[in-house]
Amino acid sequence: MIRTTVLNDRDIGNYRDPAHPIQLAIVQAIDDLSHEQATNLAIDGCGAPLYAISLYALARAFGRLASASEGPEHRVATAIRSYPEYVSGTRSDELELHRAIPGLMAKAGAESVYAVGLADGRGIAIKISDGNPRARPVAMAGVLKRLGFDHETLDTHASGPVLGAGERVGELRPCKETLAELGA
């Protein structure tokens, strides 16, 4: 946001203000990609405006972004694929997915929301209802495996430990019944 603000010769002192031209352009891009009007302004952990859209719209936006073959969307998708660590950090399950599945774009955040865009235009968006991120990679690995992707990274992500008093007492696994309801 700051770089875009500077490149557009705008004031960086208030770039997080929802009425700032950069923020207005961001919300317009969200609306355009998702085909849904973003609502419910909130503030994210970085102090920037945060908007709500449905999971369907988020999946649609990520699918459109990931499959773009020209224009600004393509440039964004290329940048994300080229430097995924700038989107997700260097030690995240998202980065591992970026590296494992060609053409994939992934971003997690916002109380355990996880979105993936695939090069063929499909998009996936999930939300772990309690906001705890421990199930996030497990659920996404389950969806991607159900869609036919096969990679050792997905095998690694497809389960997670449940700890009690510091010891493994169980395991998180994707719920196959829910995946079947989705038609996957």
Whether the pLDDT of residue 181 is over 60: the answer is no
32 shares its domain with 69:
no
Q: What is the pLDDT of residue 177?
A: 63
73 shares its domain with 153:
yes
Residues pairing with 107 in the sheet: 115
Q: Which long-range contacts (CB under 8 A, 24 or more apart) does 114-120 make?
A: 114/139, 114/140, 115/58, 115/59, 115/61, 115/62, 116/62, 116/140, 116/144, 117/61, 117/62, 117/63, 117/64, 117/65, 117/66, 117/67, 117/77, 118/63, 118/66, 118/67, 119/66, 119/67, 120/67
98 shares its domain with 38:
no
Least confident of 109-113, 115-119, 131-135: 109-113
Q: Of the residues 53, 70, 90, which one is the last residue of a structural domain?
A: 53
pLDDT (tens digit, 9 = 90+) per residue, 31-72? 999 999 998 888 888 888 989 999 999 999 999 999 999 999
60 shares its domain with 49:
no
**Residue 91 pLDDT grade (very low, low, confident, very high; cuts 50, 70, 90):** confident
Amino acid in the structure at residue 36 = E
Q: What is the pLDDT of residue 44?
A: 84
Q: What is the pLDDT of residue 88?
A: 85
Q: For 103, which DSSP code?
A: T
71 shares its domain with 42:
no
- Residues 87, 81 contacting (CB under 8 angstroms): no
Joined tokens for residue 176 = 């196959």
CA distance 38 to 27: 7
CA distance 116 to 80: 12
Joined tokens for residue 121 = 């235009």
Number of domains in the chain: 2
pLDDT (tens digit, 9 = 90+) per residue, 8-35? 999 999 999 999 999 999 999 999 999 9
- Residues 58, 82 contacting (CB under 8 angstroms): no
Whether the pLDDT of residue 184 is over 80: the answer is no
**Residue 179 pLDDT grade (very low, low, confident, very high; cuts 50, 70, 90):** low
179 burial via Cβ count (<10 Å: 0-12, 13-18, 19+):
middle
Whether the pLDDT of residue 102 is over 60: the answer is yes
24 shares its domain with 99:
no
pLDDT (tens digit, 9 = 90+) per residue, 120-177? 999 999 999 999 889 999 999 999 999 999 999 999 999 989 999 999 999 989 887 6
119 shares its domain with 28:
no
Structural domain range at position 91: 54-184
Q: What is the pLDDT of residue 158?
A: 92
